[in-house]
Amino acid sequence: MKRILLTISYDGTAYHGWQVQPNGITVQETVQNALNELLGGKTALTGCSRTDAGVHAREFCCHLDCDEKFPESAFLKGLDALLPDDISVKAAREVPPDFHARYNAKGKTYAYYILNSTLSDPFLSRYTWRIERSLDLKRINAFCREIIGTHDFYAFSSSGRTVEDTVRTVKECYAVGEGDKVILKITADGFLYNMVRIIVGTAVAVSDGKIEPLVTKEILNSQNRALAGQTAPPQGLFLEKVWY
């Protein structure tokens, strides 16, 4: 047996997130079904993290164990042919037998895309949160600077979190404007349930003047979810990169 690290990308619109669940089709289930057909047996696939329903990934990493008779080049081509058009395989390589897609990850980078326009765009509606009012990048970036560092992000997570330790280190957080889009990027050693989407919702509240940027530390220290902004909708969120 050998352990294979898969790097995939997917449009999450049609899926109920990454992890297999009884109430809807997921990315993990779809990829596992393709692997079962390719390998001729039951395959266990372990992902680097969970993504919510409707969230996308440009680079999602997962690992599996398979028979050594499958060379990497044939494996990559065969699996890609069995996957639907909204999931693709970007790379497949052998890793040490004790490698773990989740626990070996040193960090992840997410990007959230906002269409800041009074007009809709049919080609972006599945991949952005449209906000018609003008956003203030100066205020948003002042808030982003307060997010950087090691903090207890309990106030920036939803009740569905499955971990007790809510301390995370944000290494980078900033927003840029590209035409009529605002893109917020954040890199951290790990993320809590809905953490990025709540950070984005709070950034928008800061832009609107409902929350002051320097109040961020007070929100973090309060551990009170009600003091942060709304949870931004899922379709604007992309997992951009997993760092090993």
Span 67-95, mean pLDDT? 87
Computed over every residue of the chain, the mean pLDDT equals: 94
Q: Please say if the pLDDT value at position 73 is more than 80.
A: no
- Which is the catalytic residue, given 52, 65, 80, 86? 52
Among 120, 126, 45, CA closest to 86: 126
What distance in Å separates the CA atoms of residue 64 and residue 138, rounded to the nearest whole number?
44
Same fold, 2-95 and 107-243: yes
Q: Please say if the pLDDT value at position 70 is more than 70.
A: no
pLDDT in tens, 197-230: 999 999 999 999 999 999 999 999 999 999 999 9
Q: Where are the domains of the chain?
A: 2-95, 107-243
Q: What is the pLDDT of residue 66?
A: 86
Span 56-65, mean pLDDT? 96
- The percent of residues above 70 in pLDDT, for the chain, comes to 98
Span 27-31, mean pLDDT? 97
Tally of CB atoms within 10 A around 223: 14
**Residue 172 in tokens:** 């980078």
Q: How confident is the model at residue 109 (pLDDT cuts 50, 70, 90)?
A: very high
Q: Please say if the pLDDT value at position 69 is more than 80.
A: no
Name the more confident of 122 and 41. 122
Burial class of residue 101 in the structure, from the number of CB atoms within 10 Å of its CB (0-12 exposed, 13-18 middle, 19+ buried): buried
Residue reference for tokens 């709540």? 198
- 197 and 113 Cβ atoms separated by less than 8 Å: no
Q: What is the pLDDT of residue 197?
A: 97
CA distances, 194 to each of 87, 153, 158, 240 (Å): 23, 11, 6, 16
Q: What is the pLDDT of residue 75?
A: 82
What distance in Å separates the CA atoms of residue 65 and residue 29, rounded to the nearest whole number?
16
What distance in Å separates the CA atoms of residue 195 and residue 191, rounded to the nearest whole number?
6
What distance in Å separates the CA atoms of residue 24 and residue 32, rounded to the nearest whole number?
15
Q: What is the pLDDT of residue 28?
A: 97
Q: How confident is the model at residue 120 (pLDDT cuts 50, 70, 90)?
A: very high
* Fold of domain 107-243: Alpha-Beta Plaits (3.30.70)
92 φ, ψ to 5°?
Answer: -145, 125
Q: State yes or no: is 11 an active-site residue.
A: no
- The percent of residues above 90 in pLDDT, for the chain, comes to 85
Q: Please say if the pLDDT value at position 116 is more than 90.
A: yes
CATH number of 2-95: 3.30.70.580
Among 168, 164, 169, 153, CA closest to 223: 153
What distance in Å separates the CA atoms of residue 96 and residue 143, rounded to the nearest whole number?
41
Q: Please say if the pLDDT value at position 72 is more than 80.
A: no
